[in-house]
Amino acid sequence: MTIEQPRIRCASVPVHDVLASAGAAGMSGEKRRVTSMAVAGVLLGAFLAAAPIQVAKAHPHGWIEITVEVLFDETGRVTGLRENWLFDEAYTAFAVEELGGSPSQQDIDALLRGIIRNLEEYAYFTKVKYNGEEVAFAPVTEASSALRGQRLDMTFLLRFEAPLDLKGSRLLYAIFDPTYYIEILHSESEDAVRLEAAPAGCTHHMIEPNPTMEAVALAAALDRTQTAGDGLGSLFAEWVEIECP
């Protein structure tokens, strides 16, 4: 199977493997089986297992393309984010194979529910800041999934514990794997970020990552058996700023 590599806006750099241990069996093109996982359980383990050996030597090891709806209530307050994650073809191929080759919608839903459960401990790889303070989330209770061609698609609603008034304030969010094992980027479509039911005059803009040469060199020096901790991914993350008059 030909695996199309998604775009990388930052420098294409090798990064570390955040799994505690993993085995590679056989020749190039065979699937590896994960024996132990350190971050996000099924999600990161499956990404590693999905990649043929020659692809796994490149970094990051997995890719997710996202679109995000920033949700406003009738009073103009922000209530949460509806995130759509489109998984790369390698992960999708692995998942479909593990589900028997022709998974039902019920099978796909069960897989994605497992991913969401594992992500809860890691705040769903999402960080939101309101006037400089981190925002807490309620547990995800609304989610859907689908198999779209050769890619798995997951959408979930991430509600804030309390609505946020953006009048004279600002909100920033970023969605990223803190270890940079997986690269998560917004879609290049014009509606990658949507302000749903926002008051007139609300705007958003994306702040592209700008890692230092030292950070790039550190990432490039790490192989899949090494880690630089959970701070590396934030240096390669896209941030979106939302403001309302």
**pLDDT of 10 strictly over 70:** no
In total, how many domains does the chain have? 1
Instruction: Domain of residue 217: give its range.
Output: 21-243
Return all residues near 24 (Cβ < 8 A) that are at least 6 apart.
32, 53, 56
The answer to whether residue 214 is domain-embedded is yes
Residue 183 lies in a domain: yes
- The mean pLDDT value of the chain amounts to 78
The pTM of this model reads: 0.78
Torsion of CA 142, 148, 152, 153, to 10 degrees: -30
The answer to the question of residue 5 being in a domain is no
Please list the residues that pair with 174 across neighbouring strands: 127, 239
Among 43, 44, 23, residue whose Cα is nearest residue 35: 23
- Residue 53 domain flag: yes
The three-point CA angle 61-64-69 to 5° equals: 160
Higher pLDDT, 34 or 122: 122
In a domain, 181, yes or no: yes
* Rounded Cα gap, residues 168 and 175, in angstroms: 24
pLDDT tens track for 36-74: 233 344 555 555 445 444 344 435 778 999 999 999 999
What pLDDT, in 10s, does the model give residues 137-196?
Answer: 999 999 999 998 889 999 999 999 999 999 989 999 999 989 887 889 999 999 999 999
Please, which residues have CB within 8 angstroms of residue 152's CB and are 6 or more apart in sequence? 86, 87, 91, 92, 95, 108, 111, 112, 145, 146
% of the chain surpassing 70 pLDDT: 73
- pLDDT score recorded for residue 98: 86
Please give the average per-residue pLDDT across 112-127, as a whole number: 93
Is 6 inside a domain boundary?
A: no
Which of 197, 243, 169, 202 minimizes the C-alpha distance to 71? 197
Under the banding of pLDDT at 50, 70 and 90, the label for residue 16 is very low
- Count how many Cα atoms sit within 13 Å of the Cα of residue 240 in the half-sphere of its side chain: 23
Residue 137: its pLDDT value, please? Answer: 97
Say if 8 falls within a structural domain.
no
